[in-house]
Amino acid sequence: MTSGLEFPLRATDPGPPAYGTPQIGSASTTTSSRRMRFAPAFVVAVVSDVASVFTEFVPPVQWAIDVGTAFVLYLLLGRNWLLLPGLIAEAIPGVAMFPSWVLVVAVIGAGGGLRLPQTQPRP
């Protein structure tokens, strides 16, 4: 026998979400958190690549900028193996004219890098 009153399952249950409110783990919150991570990473990459053009003939300064950029991108994007090829590409003389840090951030942002194919366990 019910009294007609419905109580939430938990005392902290807010009930159904309001229209247009993103749920935790939904595509919209995931997309916005990705944007919040990659926007500063793109800014760091662009500033580093522009600075590398002007420090092309001063290798120690350019190396310091590249190591600093790799460290800041590591902090922003987490441990990702694609940062290492970007650092190696920047260490090659003359390649600093190419915006390799922007390319690295774009590749990480587009798909997170290359992944090995999943293998099926043998029975």
Query: Rounded to two decimals, what is the model's pTM?
Result: 0.62
| Alpha-carbon distance values, 105 to 10, 43, 70, 81, 102 (Å) | 43, 10, 11, 12, 5
Distances 44 to 3, 63, 75, 87, 89 between C-alpha atoms, Å? 61, 15, 11, 14, 17
Residue 47 has pLDDT above 50, yes or no: yes
Task: Tell me the CA distances in angstroms from 82 to 4, 13, 92, 102, 107, one per residue in order.
Answer: 59, 42, 16, 12, 8
Indicate the domain borders of the chain: 31-111
Q: Please write the tens of the pLDDT for every residue from 75-85.
A: 888 888 888 88
pLDDT tens digit sequence for 56-97: 888 889 889 999 999 999 888 888 888 888 888 888 877 777
Distance between CA 109 and CA 43 in Å, rounded?
13
Q: Rounded to whole angstroms, how far apart are CA atoms 86 and 99?
A: 10
